Structure 1
Amino acid sequence: MATDAATAAYARGGNAVDAAIAAALTLGVVDGHNSGIGGGCFIVIRAADGSQTAIDGREMAPAAAHRDMYVIGGKVDDEASKTGALAPGIPGALRAYELALKKHGRLSLADLLRPAADLAERGFPVDEVYARKLSATAEKLRRFPAAAAIFLHADGTPLKKGELLVQKDLAVTYRAVADQGLAWFYGGEFAQKTAAWMKENGGIATVADFENYRAIEREPVRTSYRGFELVCMPPPSSGGVHVAQILNILENFPLRHLRESSRIHVVTEAMKLAFADRAHWLGDPDFAPVPKGLVDKAYAADLARQIDLDHVTPVPAHHTPPRWEGDVFGKHTTHLSTADAEGNWVALNQTINTAFGSKVVIPGTGVLLNNEMDDFSVQPGVPNAFKLIGAEANAIAPGKRPLSSMSPTLVFKDGAPLLSVGAAGGPTIITQTLLLISRVIDDGLGPNAALAQPRFHHQWNPDELKIETQFDVETLQRVEALGHRLDRTSAFGACQAVMWDSQRNKLVPAHDPRVPGKADGL
C-alpha cells in the first residue's frame, strides 16, 4: 500500500522525493507499529541538480529531560524509557518531510497527507506481521485506553490477521495537518493535547518542546569503497559513520576471493571493532564531539591489522581515532528507497523505535508516540532494548537527539548515482546495509540477488554472532571453529534498495524477500 502511494505520487507529477514522503506517510498508517508521525526519520537526498542533502528529523529530548531521569529510588528503571509517558522524545518526522518537499519536491505535504488519511479512515486488513506484533504487544497496549481502542477488541484481545484496522482519529489528524499546516502539530491542538496528557500521566513533554523542534540539514558523511563513492547520514546517526568505517576496514581484504567462512569471519571482526567505537564515541554532534577520524582510511587500516584471519580477536574496548580532540562532526524502523528518471534519489529511514513505540496514543489523535528516549544511554553502560550500550557521548540532555542506527545510504560510481539502500531492524540496520553494498560492489550482484543472500550481525556487546541458518552447515561449523559464538536465526531484518542498471538502462527496485510488501518501478 505504501509502494502504491509512492507510484500514485509519481503519476500526479511528483518526483522521487514526493514518492518517498507519500510512502513514508502511508507507512505511518499501515505499518504504524514501526514508524509514523509520532516518531522521527533521517533522509538522504541526491537531487536532479546534483546537490546532496542529509535531513535530520530525529526525535529530541524534552527540555525537562536530564541525565538521571530514569534513576528512581537509586535504581535504573529501564522500563520507563521504553513504555509510557517518560519514553517519548519530541517527534520530528513531519518537520523533516516538509523540509525535504520544500527543498526538492513538487507536491505539497497536504497533497500527500490526504490520500493517507483516506486510507486510515476506510481501514485495511491486518497482515501476518502486524497481527504478530499486536499479539506480542497487546498486554502493554491494554494499559493505554486510547491505544487499546484502536488496536484491540473490546474484550482486550488483539486484532487478528485479515481483520480491518480503522484509524479514524489518525485520519482526522492527517487532515488537520493538511488543512492547517505544521503549526497545528507543533504548538497547536496536537501539542496542547499531548502536553495535557503528559501532565496528567507523569510525562514531561510540553507545548514549548513541540514549538522548539526543528528539522536540521546536516553535511553528509562521504567515503569511498573500491572506487565507489558513498553518501551517508551523519550523527546523530551512527549508521553512516560505521557503514563507512566497516567498509574502510574491509577494503584491506580481498573479500570476493575468500572462502565463505573466512569472509564472514573478517566482516564480523570489522563489525566488532566499529561497534566498540560506536559505544564510546557516538552521540548527538550538537552536544558531544564525534571524531571525524572514525572514517579515516589510515585509522581503518590500523584496525584491519588487528584482525587475525585464523581466529577471533578479543576487542576489550574502543580505539582512539586520529584528531579525536578537535576534528569533529558539525554540530524498529522502516526503510524506503526511491529514484526517478530525472536523477532524484532518496534513502529514507523512519521509526518510532520498538514495536508500537511507547504504546501511548494521545486520546483523540490516533498518533502512536515513539519511545526513542530508550536510544539514549539511560545510564552510561546500561543496555537498551537492543542490548546496545553507550557512554557519556549519548547521555540524556535537554534538547538532545538520541543516537540511532538508521543508515540511509546513496552509492555513486564516477559521480553518477548507482544505489539507494537502507534497512530496518535496530542495530542490524548498519550491518544489513553494508552487507548489501559489499555484495553489489565486491560480488557484482544485482540488488534482488544481493538481498537474497544470508546475513549475519555482530555488535561487539553482547559477544555473539547473529547469523542466518541459510548458510550451509559446513560454513557455520567453520565459522564456529574460528572462535565465534553463534546465535542462529532463521531470518532477521528488512533491507530495501533501488539500483541503476546501466546495461539495461533502467532503475531496478528491490524488496527484501524476508518481509511482506513489494517493489514497483520500470
Structure 2
Amino acid sequence: LYRGPFAQATADWMNKNGGLLRLEDFRNYHIKLRQPVITTYRSCQIVGFPPPSSGGVHVAQILSFLERFDLKKMGANSADFVHVVSEAMKLAFADRAYWLGDPDFAKVPRGLVSKDYAARLAAQIRLDRVLPGAEHGTPDRADEDVFEKHTTHFSTADAAGNWVACTATVNTSFGCKIVVPDTGVVLNNQMDDFSAQPGATNYFGLVGAEANAIAPGKRPLSSMSPTIVLKDGRPILSVGAAGGPTIISQTVLAIINTIDFGMSPESALAQPRFHHQWKPDELLVEKRIGEKVLRELEERGHKLKVVDSLGAAQAVGVNPNGPGFVGAHDPRVEGRAAGW
C-alpha cells in the first residue's frame, strides 16, 4: 500500500493539486507493533490499545478510579453513578490533555495506569458536588518510566478462540472530503488530532500540550479504544466505538455495564450514555437518562448539555446459555450483528 500503485497515484494527485505528500513520505512510513495497555478491573483483565491512541490508557485509568466505588450499589444510570463516572472521566481527560502524545516523541508516563496513582486522583472525587478546577496529575517517575517510543469499529470472535477489536478512522466525517481518483480511498484529516498550539481546541473541542505538538514523522493522538476483556484468562467481551473523544466514555460504560451490572452486550450498549472530557467543562448526557437524574446532576454543579444520541459502539460477548457468542450492534445507528 505504501510502496505500490496507491502510493504513486496519491503522490501524483498531490503534485498536480498542490498537496504536501510526496512518494518518499509513503516510503518512509512504517507500521509499528506496540505492546498493549493491560490493567485489571474488579476480577477481570482489560487489554487496550497503547499510545499514540489515548484510548487504552484512559479506559484503564477511568476504570481504576472507579474500582474504589460501589457502582452496583449506586445503581445503573442513577445520579450517583453518572456523577462519579463523569468525574472520573474529567480527571482522565485532564491527564490526556497534558501527558498524551506519540511515545516515539514524547514521554508518556506508564504511571498513568498505575493503581496507586489512580487511588490518589480518585480520592479527589466527592459524591455531593463536582470537583472544581480539576487539573492534570503527575504520576511517580513521570520522566523515567514511560511508554516506548469517520470512525468505524468492529468486534468479532470465532470458534478457534480468536477475538478481535478493531477501530479504523479517517477522523471526521469523510475525512478531508477528497477521494484519490481511481482508488476509492478517502483521504483522512487526521492532522486535526495534533495540538496546533498548547490550549487550542481541535474539531472535537479537545485541547493538548507539547506532547502532542506537530513534528515530522510523528503520529497524532487519537481516542480509539478497541478493548478485549478477559476473565480467568478467557475473553468475555470485545468492544469499541466511534465518536471522537466519546469513544473512551462509550467503551468504559460498556465495560462497567457488563462487569458491574451483569448486562448482556446488547443491553450494555443500549443504556443511556454520558461523557465529560474536562474541557469544555460540560457533561454531555442523553436526554433519556430522565429528568430526575438531570435535575440531581445540576444540583451537584454539573453544567449539562443534553443530547438525543451519543456515539456508536459494537461488541461481542460470550453466550451465557451455551457455546458460541452474542453480538451486539448499537441501536443508535443503522446496522446489525451477524454470525455464521
Smaller-chain TM-score bracket:
over 0.9
- 1:222 maps to 2:38: yes
Match of 2:115 in 1: 297
Alpha-carbon distance in structure 2 between the residues aligned to 1:316 and 1:510: 35
1:170-249 to structure 2, matched below 5 A, reads 185-249=1-65
- 1:436 maps to 2:254: yes
* Structure whose residues are more often helix by fraction: 1
1:322 maps to which of 115, 135, 140: 140
Letter in 1 for 2:195: S
Match of 1:384 in 2: 202
If you compute each CA radius of gyration, which structure gives the higher value, 1 or 2?
Answer: 1
Q: How far does residue 368 in structure 1 lie from its aligned partner after superposition? A: 1.1
1:74-113 to structure 2, matched below 5 A, reads none
Alpha-carbon distance in structure 1 between the residues aligned to 2:182 and 2:336: 32
- 1:516 maps to 2:334: yes
- 1:255 maps to 2:71: yes
Q: Is the 8 A contact 2:91 2:134 kept in 1?
A: no
Provide the secondary structure at the position in 2 that maps to 1:517. Answer: coil
Alpha-carbon distance in structure 1 between the residues aligned to 2:117 and 2:320: 34
Query: Which structure ranks higher in relative contact order (CA pairs < 8 Å, sequence separation ≥ 6)?
Result: 1
Letter in 2 for 1:270: A
Q: How far does residue 234 in structure 1 lie from its aligned partner after superposition? A: 0.4
Structure 1 gaps, min length 5: 1-184
Match of 1:5 in 2: none
Letter in 2 for 1:370: N
Q: How far does residue 366 in structure 1 lie from its aligned partner after superposition? A: 2.5
- 1:335 maps to 2:153: yes
Q: How far does residue 328 in structure 1 lie from its aligned partner after superposition? A: 0.5
Alpha-carbon distance in structure 1 between the residues aligned to 2:321 and 2:234: 14
Q: Is the 8 A contact 1:273 1:315 kept in 2?
A: no
- 1:507 maps to 2:309: no
- 1:308 maps to 2:129: no
Alpha-carbon distance in structure 1 between the residues aligned to 2:178 and 2:14: 10
Provide the secondary structure at the position in 2 that maps to 1:218. Answer: coil
For residues 66-104 of structure 1, what are the alpha-carbon distances to aligned partners after superposition, in whole Å with 9 as ceiling and x for unaligned? Answer: xxxxxxxxxxxxxxxxxxxxxxxxxxxxxxxxxxxxxxx
Match of 2:242 in 1: 424
| Residues 345, 311 of structure 1: alpha-carbon distance in 2 compared, 3 angstrom cutoff | same
Q: How far does residue 505 in structure 1 lie from its aligned partner after superposition? A: 2.5
Alpha-carbon distance in structure 2 between the residues aligned to 1:367 and 1:188: 14
Q: Is the 8 A contact 2:109 2:146 kept in 1?
A: yes
- 1:369 maps to 2:181: no
Alpha-carbon distance in structure 1 between the residues aligned to 2:13 and 2:319: 51
1:6-25 to structure 2, matched below 5 A, reads none
1:457 maps to which of 275, 286, 296: 275
2:99 maps to which of 281, 287, 295: 281
The percentage of counterpart residues that share the same residue type is: 62
Q: How far does residue 278 in structure 1 lie from its aligned partner after superposition? A: 0.1
1:474 maps to which of 277, 280, 292: 292
Structure 1 consecutive aligned stretches of length 4 or more whose deviation exceeds 3 Å? none
- Coordinate RMSD, CA, aligned: 1.1
Provide the secondary structure at the position in 1 that maps to 2:260. Answer: helix
Q: How far does residue 205 in structure 1 lie from its aligned partner after superposition? A: 0.8
Q: Is the 8 A contact 2:150 2:174 kept in 1?
A: no
Of stretches 221-230 and 374-383 in structure 1, the one that deviates more from structure 2 is 374-383
Alpha-carbon distance in structure 2 between the residues aligned to 1:410 and 1:367: 29
Q: How far does residue 190 in structure 1 lie from its aligned partner after superposition? A: 2.3
- Please, what TM-score do these two structures have when normalized by structure 1? 0.64
Alpha-carbon distance in structure 2 between the residues aligned to 1:505 and 1:422: 23
Alpha-carbon distance in structure 2 between the residues aligned to 1:223 and 1:411: 10
Alpha-carbon distance in structure 2 between the residues aligned to 1:346 and 1:494: 18
Q: Is the 8 A contact 1:272 1:315 kept in 2?
A: no
Alpha-carbon distance in structure 2 between the residues aligned to 1:503 and 1:327: 44
Q: How far does residue 502 in structure 1 lie from its aligned partner after superposition? A: 4.1
- Please, what TM-score do these two structures have when normalized by structure 2? 0.97
2:162 maps to which of 333, 341, 344: 344
Alpha-carbon distance in structure 2 between the residues aligned to 1:198 and 1:396: 21
Letter in 2 for 1:293: G
Provide the secondary structure at the position in 2 that maps to 1:410. Answer: strand
Q: Is the 8 A contact 1:247 1:434 kept in 2?
A: yes
Match of 1:63 in 2: none
Structure 2 gaps, min length 5: none
For residues 184-225 of structure 1, what are the alpha-carbon distances to aligned partners after superposition, in whole Å with 9 as ceiling and x for unaligned? Answer: x32333222322322333322110111122211110000000
Provide the secondary structure at the position in 2 that maps to 1:466. Answer: strand
For residues 359-383 of structure 1, what are the alpha-carbon distances to aligned partners after superposition, in whole Å with 9 as ceiling and x for unaligned? Answer: 1222332321000011011222111
